[in-house]
Amino acid sequence: MANLHDLSFWQAKAASLSIESRAFINGVYVDAVDGGTFEKTSPIDQRLLAKVASCDQADANLAVKAARDSFNAGVWSERPPAVRKKILLKFAGLIREHGDELALLDTLDMGKPIGDSRTVDINGTARAIEWTAEAIDKIYDEVAPTASNELGLVTRQAVGVVAAIVPWNFPMIMAAWKFAPALAMGNSFILKPSEKSPLSAIRMAQLALEAGIPKGVFNVLPGFGHTVGKALARHMDVDTLVFTGSTGVAKQLMIYSGESNMKRVWTEAGGKSANVVFADAPNLDEAAEAAAGAICFNAGEVCTAGSRLLVEESIAEAFTAKVRQAMKKWTPGHPLDPTTKMGAIVDSSQMQRVLSYVDKGKLEGATLTQGGNLQAPVENGCFIEPAIFENVSNDMAIASEEIFGPVLSVIPFKTEEQALSIANDSIYGLAAGVWTSNLSRAHRFSSKLQAGSVWVNQYDGGDMTAPFGGFKQSGNGRDKSLHAFDKYSEIKATWIKL
Ligand code: NAD
């Protein structure tokens, strides 16, 4: 009999899945006000998954009103932190309980392997909520060091209505990094998932209600960026806008804010991260496996993807050969097969974009030594064999622009100074890796890297305890850890004459 380790189990589950595709406003599922929908197909085989509500200004108005009314009514914002914690923990529990269904929705929607959706995405989402919920009744405010005839209170309070616009690469985790601290702090929340992956967010809304989050406090508006995304970003009654996505859209959101009510805008944007391997790396085999994983995991659709591999010249040839070998293990497979490591690219337009960079790399004079071809583990699917370019210089488009796909650029360097200068020569500053056995170099180099996250002798480490975000055009503010609460609170100083 088929079980959850079999492709046939997941294919049968997918065939019988019932998919909710309406917006969630004020505690109920509703069609878009104008009845508009868009067709959501799967990148696995182009099957139609659902006709999803295509929200716009009128829907944004309704959701913002529901959020504002619930905030003002105090049904959530005025509950004790310990009560909000308990409800959020229940929400996380429901996400775990419905993990297989949510994981399947994401896999069908955006093509990632079911094995990753069930582990990385479900655990990452539940853990984000649990960690944040656990923190909220342990944070204290401050008393200022005043003269004895005055009392100075420094308190944090919820900002009010928070709207979040998120991408498709980790649909639930990117949302949870926003809604967990926003809700924990007492705000009311509107989530605009990507039009490329709206289904799990829509389903989570029902679970939030079931957990006890009152109606109006958690709303979901599926639709496009230039319609409902823009409507939220320009809305006069949204207090804070949080975003994860591309740098271009992040800049646009800052303009919308300036043109409307100067709402706070916090952005997690693009990346072109350098993974720097010195000849004295403690274990070159491990480093090569990690370098391959850094560009192939989630089909390279990761903001922190190690897309620039900087290798010390003396080991460049031998090390790159190891990376090529390691990348062969990431051949795309059926996303519903639990043994698949690399799934589909999110849709055909993203696939074309990735292929266009493969062409560009060749035209620029870099050497494509492996991959870059279309693959067809499933008929009509969007699959690409991971590509590795050698003889790359940092000014080429493949090394300076974010591709957001499995395309690796290998750039040799001679000295530590040169490696640092290449690593930092980017408009982005999201993350970086450095591999060396030299402790002094590890510290010296890490401290000079212009990146929000630095990994030494590993790639992509971290958990909810550490903040995540970027320098430069990779954004502002931080998700995760206690630092995340800064986005969802205003700080008030109250002076009391005694
Ligand atoms: P995107 O910027 O195209 O879209 C992100 C979201 O913005 C989507 O929901 C989209 O509908 C919305 N949007 C688009 N135009 C808009 C507009 N004019 N007004 C309002 N909303 C608008 O990004 P994407 O393709 O979904 O995701 C890939 C990008 O996300 C990459 O650049 C990647 O680096 C970035 N990303 C960053 C992080 C991080 O934490 N720094 C994490 C994941 C992804």
Pocket test for ligand 1, best of 168, 234, 255, 303 (most atoms within 8 A of CB): 303
CA torsion sign for 471, 473, 476, 480 is negative
Please give the distance of CA 397 from its chain centroid, rounded to a whole number.
23
Ligand 1 atom with the shortest distance to the CA of 350: 25
Our answer on whether the CB atom of 268 is closer than 6 Å to any ligand 1 atom is yes
Ligand 1 pocket test target in 106, 121, 165 with most atoms within 8 Å of CB: 165
List, for residues 45-79, the tens digit of each pLDDT value. Answer: 999 999 999 999 999 999 999 999 999 999 999 99
Identify the pLDDT of residue 2: 76
Q: Identify the pLDDT of residue 183.
A: 99
pLDDT single digits (tens) 454-474: 999 999 999 999 999 999 999
Is residue 429 lining ligand 1, measured as CB closer than 6 Å?
Answer: no
Average pLDDT over residues 193-216: 98
**Predicted confidence (pLDDT) at residue 479 exceeds the cutoff of 90:** yes
**Tokens (6 digits) for 218:** 């958690």
Active site residue 303: yes
What proportion of the chain, given as a percentage, has pLDDT over 90? Answer: 99
What is the pLDDT at residue 4? 86
Q: What is the pLDDT of residue 403?
A: 98
**Average pLDDT of span 68-95:** 98
Q: One of 303, 382, 390, 416 is an active-site residue; which one?
A: 303
DSSP letter at 298 equals: G
Confidence class for position 107, pLDDT limits 50, 70, 90: very high
For the CA of 271, the closest atom of ligand 1 is: 34
Q: What is the pLDDT of residues 4-47, one digit of tens each?
A: 899 999 999 999 999 999 999 999 999 999 999 999 999 999 99
- Which domains does the chain show, CATH number per domain? 7-269 (3.40.605.10), 274-462 (3.40.309.10)
Share of the chain above pLDDT 70, in %: 100
Interval 380-392 mean pLDDT: 97
CA distance linking residue 240 with residue 243, whole number of Å: 10
Atom of ligand 1 nearest to the CA of 192: 9
Pairwise CA distance, residues 225 & 248, whole Å: 12
**Which of the residues 130, 268, 402, 416 is marked catalytic?**
268
The closest residue, in CA terms, to atom 8 on ligand 1 is: 194
CA of 325 to the centre of ligand 1 (A): 32
Best mutation site among 190, 194, 301 for ligand 1, i.e. most ligand atoms within 8 A of its Cβ?
194
Residue whose token pair is 């989570």: 204
**Closest ligand 1 atom to 247 CA:** 32
Note if the pTM is more than 0.95. Answer: yes
Please state the three-class secondary structure of the chain as a single string: CCCCCCHHHHHHHHHCCCCCCCEEECCEEECCCCCCEEEEECCCCCCEEEEEECCCHHHHHHHHHHHHHHHHHCCCCCCCHHHHHHHHHHHHHHHHHCHHHHHHHHHHHHCCCHHHHHHHHHHHHHHHHHHHHHHHCCCCCEECCCCCCEEEEEEEEECCEEEEECCCCCHHHHHHHHHHHHHHCCCEEEEECCCCCCHHHHHHHHHHHHHCCCCCCEEECCCCHHHHHHHHHCCCCCCEEEEECCHHHHHHHHHHHHHCCCCEEEEECCCCCEEEECCCCCCHHHHHHHHHHHHHHHHHCCCCCCCEEEEEHHHHHHHHHHHHHHHHCCCECCCCCCCCCECCCCCHHHHHHHHHHHHHHHHHCCEEEECCCEECCCCCCCEECCEEEECCCCCCHHHHCCCCCCEEEEEEECCHHHHHHHHHCCCEECEEEEECCCHHHHHHHHHHCCCCEEEECCCCCCCCCCCECCEECCECCCECCHHHHHHHEEEEEEEEEC
Q: What is the pLDDT of residues 230-267, one digit of tens each?
A: 999 999 999 999 999 999 999 999 999 999 999 999 99
Cα distances (Å, whole numbers) of residue 325 to 290, 370, 392, 404 = 12, 10, 19, 22
Q: How far is the CA of 384 from the centre of ligand 1 (A)?
A: 22
- In this predicted structure, what is the pLDDT of residue 1? 65
> What region does 405 belong to: left with phi over 0, alpha with psi -120 to 50, or beta?
beta
Q: In the annotation, is 296 catalytic?
A: no
> In the prediction, which pLDDT does 252 show?
98
Segment 321-338, tens digit of pLDDT: 999 999 999 999 999 999
Give just the sign of the alpha carbon dihedral 309, 312, 316, 322. negative
Lowest mean pLDDT among 160-164, 229-233, 360-364, 372-376: 372-376
